Amino acid sequence: MRRIGFRYQRSIAAPAEVHGIGFLTGAMVRLRFLPAPPNTGIVFIRTDLRPEARVPACVSQVTGTQRRTTLGQPPIQIGLVEHTLAALAGLRIDNCFVELNAPEPPGLDGSARQFTHVLSQAGVRLQPARRAIYGVDEPIVIRQNGATLSLHPVPNPELKISYFLDYGLNSSIGRQMHSETVLPESFINELAEARTFLLESEAVELKQQGYGARTTAADLLVFGRRGPINNQLRHADEPARHKILDLIGDLSLFGHDLCGHVVAYRSGHPLNIQLVRALEQKLDREGGTVTRLAA
Per-residue pLDDT, averaged over 251-272, amounts to 97
Calpha distance 261→135 (Å, rounded): 10
DSSP 253: G
Calpha distance 195→185 (Å, rounded): 18
Residues 6+ apart with CB under 8 A from 145: none
Calpha distance 79→115 (Å, rounded): 16
pLDDT tens for each residue of 66-124: 989 999 999 999 999 999 999 999 999 999 999 999 999 999 999 999 999 999 999 99
Residue 206 reports pLDDT greater than 90: no
Fold of 2-289: Ribosomal Protein S5; domain 2 (3.30.230)
Per-residue confidence (pLDDT) for residue 289, from 0 to 100: 47
Catalytic residues: 269
- Using DSSP, state whether 37 is helix, strand or coil: coil
H runs (alpha helix) in the chain:
82-90, 113-122, 184-186, 200-208, 238-251, 269-286
Per-residue confidence (pLDDT) for residue 207, from 0 to 100: 76
pTM here?
Answer: 0.94
Side-chain half-sphere exposure of 261, counting CA atoms within 13 A: 11
Instruction: Kindly indicate the confidence band of residue 203, based on its pLDDT and cuts at 50, 70 and 90.
Output: confident
The domain spans of the chain are 2-289
Per-residue confidence (pLDDT) for residue 287, from 0 to 100: 67
Per-residue confidence (pLDDT) for residue 288, from 0 to 100: 55
Per-residue confidence (pLDDT) for residue 291, from 0 to 100: 39
Per-residue confidence (pLDDT) for residue 213, from 0 to 100: 66
User: Average pLDDT, whole number, for the chain?
Assistant: 93
